[in-house]
Each structure stands twice: as C-alpha cells, then as structure tokens.
C-alpha cells in the first residue's frame, strides 16, 4: 500500500530488467574503481624504485580514476525516459497521470501544457518543481498549484520544468522511469529544437492520438523528423478517447480497423521503424480519462457511471503498460548500458596491459641483473683459477729454491 492507502501491484514488472541491470553495472563499476585505485597505489610503490615505472605512466593510470568516477556518476543517474507527443488536448497529460495513478500533471481546459514537463522520482517526501536554469526547489502541494506556478512564469515552449514526485508514491517513478510531457505538436515551429533538446535520449515515444479523428500531418511530421535523427525509435500509438466510440457501437469495429490499418502503415511503411507484427504490439485503443478516474477512486465507491466497454478499454490500457514497460526497459538497458560496459571492459583491459607491462619489465630487469651477476661470478672464478695456478707455480719455485739452498748449505757444511 502507498502512503495514501492505494494498492500497488506486486513487484514483477518488466521494469525490473532495467533496475537489476543498473544495479549490476553499478556494482561492476564499483569493482573497477577499486581495481583502478589498487593499481595506482601499486604503481606509486613501484615508482619509488625508479627503474620500472616512470612518472608519466603513473599519471596516465591516475587519469583512469577520474574517468571511472565520472562513468559511475552518469550510471547512478541513468533512467528510462518516455516522451509523450500529440496535438493539444489529445490527452497526453491524462495518459501520464493515469500511468502514474495520480493527478500529477494539470490537464484539461485552461491547463494546456505550454512547455516541456518532466516528472521524475525524488527521494524526498514532498513534491517540488525546478524551473529550467534555476536551482530553486519550488514546493508544489497540488496540481492546482503546479498549474498556477506554470502559468505564472513566462515560459518558452521548448523550456523544461522538472517535477520531482516522491518515489514512495509511485512504482514507475521508483523504478527510474522519467516521463516527459510536451506542448502540442500543433503549436510549435521549433520541432528541431524540441528533438535536439528533449528527444535524443528518450527510450520510448508515445504518440497520443485522438481516436475521434485520424492522424494529422503535424503529428506525422514530428515523428518523421524524430526518425531521421534517431535510428528506429520505439514508438507507441495510443488512440485515446476511445470511450467516445461507445456512443456509436455500430461503427466501433469498422472505425477501429481503419485507425489500426493507418497506424500500422504509418509505423511500418512510412517511418519503417518496425515490422507489421511488431506494430500490432504498439497500437492501443484506450481512454486515459477513464483509467485515471478508476485508479483515483480505487477503494472508494464508484461515483461516475461506467461507460459501455470500460473493462475492455481498461484491460487494453494495462496491456499497453505491460508492453511499454518491456520495451522501455530492454531498450534502455541496451542504449544506456551497452556503451558503458564496453568502456568498462576497455579500461579493465588497459589496466591489465599496464600491469602486464610492469611485470614483463620487472622480469627483464631481473634477467639482466642475473646475467650481470653471472658475468661477475665467471670473472671471479677465472681470477681464482689464475691465482691458484700462480700460487702453485710460486710454491714449486720456492720449494726448489729452498731445496737448492739446503743442498748448498749442506755441501758447504760438509766441506
Ligand atoms: P493534453 O493537452 O494532450 O495534455 O490533454 P489533456 O490530458 O489535458 O486532456 C484534455 C482534455 O481531454 C481534458 O479535459 C481531459 O479530461 C480530456 N480527456 C483526456 N483523455 C480523455 C479520454 O480518454 N476520454 C475523454 N472523453 N476525455 C479525455
């Protein structure tokens, strides 16, 4: 149960793929950091000797400490990012709120999102927002306050306001999913700036379309631009306001089929971002408003009568959430961690090469010393032998001299 007594599903979400991978790669980089530090300490020791390692080599190795540290920094902040696009009032904010199971973003008439809004989890218990270019934490107690704070500021439509929402109030935020709501694609001439600023690191894009009309050129254009800058972006299409179809049940299947075909064509033939089979898993017919209402009133008696087909639409929303979680989690692991793991491998290999270099230099030095010692030994042995020979000869000479003297003396004595 959350603080507000809401039920949270058990933790078997596909987001755990990312969460676990993140923990693992962070642990591995922790070990790499230890390894680098040990290597530097060891090199300092060896440097004292002054023969095997020079100060440049030590300096080079020391640089790895900083490199590994900054990778660890980035890794700790890595998250999965989903960005929502669509025309004004198609229900982008409502979809985000439904997924977050709370009215976090202002939605509805008069609350048009006029800048980029990012919702991410925060460890603090109180929500707050931070405006672009500012460090100040502005407390927000309610959606009304948030809307007010946003209207009060004169914000550029490309600017970003970050909403920090307590992680303990929402499972998706706890698991490092960051949501980005955008102004309607119909209001801006700055699509390029939008993409460069907010989309290049997004793992998943959700196009919130209005099921009451067909996909518009402005919506399509935006995604054409995105797919020129990113290779095969992951795009989901939500046909929102599908509850409106309940009022015309006789056309329901026909309208759905038509929307489905157009959306599949858009993803497969126009954008070429997926296969027809994959596209089937990317297009959903939902009603964000209904899901949000249902989730907000969990545990309370239902106040609004349910529209025909609510249950089916609710299940379809849940199906979307599951497919979305699988997609974002796998994609983020690939895009966020693959490069880092290559880098980690590279650094570990470099360090091994450095240490192996030191080892082989040390071996060489040892062999040289041994060879020097052998040469010296040989010289000593030779000198010793020479000395022996000389000594023997001297001995012999002295001996014969003594004998000679003795003979002479005894001869002289006898005479
Ligand atoms: P945004 O501008 O794309 O963020 O759209 P909002 O989320 O602010 O929604 C605009 C209006 O449409 C609000 O009044 C919502 O209550 C309403 N709305 C959103 N989703 C649905 C839906 O699925 N069905 C119906 N009937 N209304 C919806």
For the cut 80, the answer to whether the pLDDT of residue 8 exceeds it is no
- The pLDDT value given to residue 156: 74
Nearest-CA residue for atom 11 of ligand 1: 108
Q: In this predicted model, what pLDDT tens digit does every residue of 374-415 receive, in sequence order? A: 999 999 999 999 999 999 999 999 999 999 999 999 998 888
Of the pLDDT bands very low, low, confident and very high (cuts 50, 70, 90), residue 321 is very high
Q: Which two tokens stand for residue 242?
A: 């599908």
Q: Which of 207, 224, 225, 169 is nearest to 83 (CA)?
A: 207
Answer for the pair 380, 386: CB distance below 8 angstroms, yes or no: no
Compute the distance from residue 312 Cα to the ligand 1 centre, in Å.
19
**What is the Cα–Cα distance from 237 to 282, expressed in whole angstroms?**
6
HSE toward the beta carbon, residue 3, CA cutoff 13 A: 8
For the cut 80, the answer to whether the pLDDT of residue 45 exceeds it is yes
Nearest-CA residue for atom 25 of ligand 1: 241
Write the Ramachandran bin of 178: left for phi over 0, alpha for psi from -120 to 50, otherwise beta. beta
- The pLDDT value given to residue 111: 56
- The pLDDT value given to residue 335: 87
Q: What residues line ligand 1, using a CB cutoff of 6 Å?
A: 86, 88-94, 107-109, 111-113, 240-241, 243-244, 287-289
Compute the distance from residue 97 Cα to the ligand 1 centre, in Å.
11
- The pLDDT value given to residue 4: 55
Of the pLDDT bands very low, low, confident and very high (cuts 50, 70, 90), residue 277 is very high
For the cut 50, the answer to whether the pLDDT of residue 128 exceeds it is yes
Compute the distance from residue 44 Cα to the ligand 1 centre, in Å.
64
Mean pLDDT lowest among 72-76, 108-112, 273-277: 108-112
Of the pLDDT bands very low, low, confident and very high (cuts 50, 70, 90), residue 144 is low
Over residues 338-355, the mean pLDDT reads 90
Nearest atom, ligand 1, residue 242 CA: 23
Q: Which of 98, 107, 186, 307 to mutate to test the pocket of ligand 1 (most atoms within 8 A of CB)?
A: 107
Percent of the chain with pLDDT over 70: 91
**What is the Cα–Cα distance from 235 to 223, expressed in whole angstroms?**
9
- The pLDDT value given to residue 1: 45
Compute the distance from residue 138 Cα to the ligand 1 centre, in Å.
26
> Mean of the per-residue pLDDT values for the chain?
88
Mean pLDDT lowest among 76-90, 150-164, 202-216, 307-321: 150-164
| DSSP structure class, residue 305 | P
HSE toward the beta carbon, residue 319, CA cutoff 13 A: 15
Q: Which two tokens stand for residue 100?
A: 């977050």
**Pairing relationship of beta strands 235-240 and 204-210 according to DSSP bridges:** parallel
Nearest atom, ligand 1, residue 112 CA: 2
For the cut 70, the answer to whether the pLDDT of residue 220 exceeds it is yes
Nearest-CA residue for atom 14 of ligand 1: 108
- The pLDDT value given to residue 385: 93
**What is the Cα–Cα distance from 412 to 180, expressed in whole angstroms?**
130
Compute the distance from residue 345 Cα to the ligand 1 centre, in Å.
48
H or E segment to which residue 210 belongs = strand 204-210
Nearest-CA residue for atom 15 of ligand 1: 108
Total-model pTM: 0.81
Q: Which two tokens stand for residue 250?
A: 């006789």
Compute the distance from residue 215 Cα to the ligand 1 centre, in Å.
16
Q: In this predicted model, what pLDDT tens digit does every residue of 282-315 receive, in sequence order? A: 999 999 999 999 999 877 766 666 788 899 999 9
Answer for the pair 135, 108: CB distance below 8 angstroms, yes or no: no
For the cut 90, the answer to whether the pLDDT of residue 193 exceeds it is no
Compute the distance from residue 248 Cα to the ligand 1 centre, in Å.
19
Mean pLDDT lowest among 139-143, 279-283, 302-306, 313-317: 302-306
Compute the distance from residue 57 Cα to the ligand 1 centre, in Å.
62
Over residues 15-38, the mean pLDDT reads 93
364 CB contacts (<8 Å, ≥6 apart)?
A: none
Answer for the pair 113, 182: CB distance below 8 angstroms, yes or no: yes
| Alpha helix segments (H runs only) across 238-337 | 252-265, 276-280, 288-296, 310-332
Q: Which two tokens stand for residue 109?
A: 């008439």
Q: Which of 87, 91, 116, 290 to mutate to test the pocket of ligand 1 (most atoms within 8 A of CB)?
A: 91
């Amino acid at each position: 149960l959350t603080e507000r007594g809401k039920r949270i599903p058990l933790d078997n979400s596909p987001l755990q793929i990312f969460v676990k991978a993140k923990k693992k790669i962070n642990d591995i980089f922790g070990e790499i950091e230890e390894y680098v530090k040990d290597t530097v300490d060891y090199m300092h020791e060896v440097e004292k000797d002054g023969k095997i390692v020079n100060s440049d080599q030590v300096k080079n190795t020391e640089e790895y400490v900083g490199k590994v540290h900054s990778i660890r920094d980035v890794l700790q902040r890595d998250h999965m990012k989903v960005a929502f696009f669509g025309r004004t009032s198609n229900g982008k904010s409502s979809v985000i709120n439904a997924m977050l199971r709370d009215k976090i973003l202002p939605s509805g008439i008069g609350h048009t999102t006029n800048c980029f809004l990012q919702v991410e989890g925060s460890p603090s218990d109180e929500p707050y927002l931070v405006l672009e270019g500012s460090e100040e934490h502005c407390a927000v107690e309610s959606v009304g306050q948030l809307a007010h704070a946003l209207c009060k500021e004169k914000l550029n439509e490309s600017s970003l306001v970050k909403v920090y929402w307590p992680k303990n109030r929402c499972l998706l935020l706890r698991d490092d999913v960051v949501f980005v709501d955008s102004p309607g694609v119909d209001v801006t001439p700055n699509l390029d700036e939008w993409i460069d600023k907010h989309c290049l690191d997004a793992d998943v894009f959700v196009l919130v379309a209005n099921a009451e009309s067909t996909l518009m050129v402005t919506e399509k254009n935006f995604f054409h631009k995105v797919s020129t800058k990113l290779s095969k972006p992951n795009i989901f299409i939500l046909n929102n306001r599908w509850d409106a179809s309940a009022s015309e049940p006789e056309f329901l299947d026909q309208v759905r089929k038509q929307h489905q075909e157009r959306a599949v064509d858009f993803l497969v033939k126009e954008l070429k971002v997926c296969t027809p089979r994959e596209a089937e898993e990317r297009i959903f017919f939902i009603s964000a408003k209904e899901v949000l209402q249902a989730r907000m009133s969990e545990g309370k008696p239902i106040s609004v009568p349910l529209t025909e087909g609510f249950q089916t639409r609710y299940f379809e929303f849940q199906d979307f959430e599951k497919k979305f979680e699988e997609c974002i989690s796998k994609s983020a692991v690939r895009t966020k961690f693959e490069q880092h793991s290559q880098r980690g491998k590279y650094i570990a290999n470099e360090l091994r090469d450095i240490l192996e270099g030191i080892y082989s230099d040390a071996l060489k030095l040892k062999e040289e010393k041994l060879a020097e010692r052998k040469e010296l030994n040989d010289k000593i042995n030779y000198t010793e032998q020479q000395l022996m020979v000389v000594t023997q000869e001297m001995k012999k000479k002295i001996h014969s001299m003594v004998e000679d003297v003795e003979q002479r003396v005894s001869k002289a004595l006898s005479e």
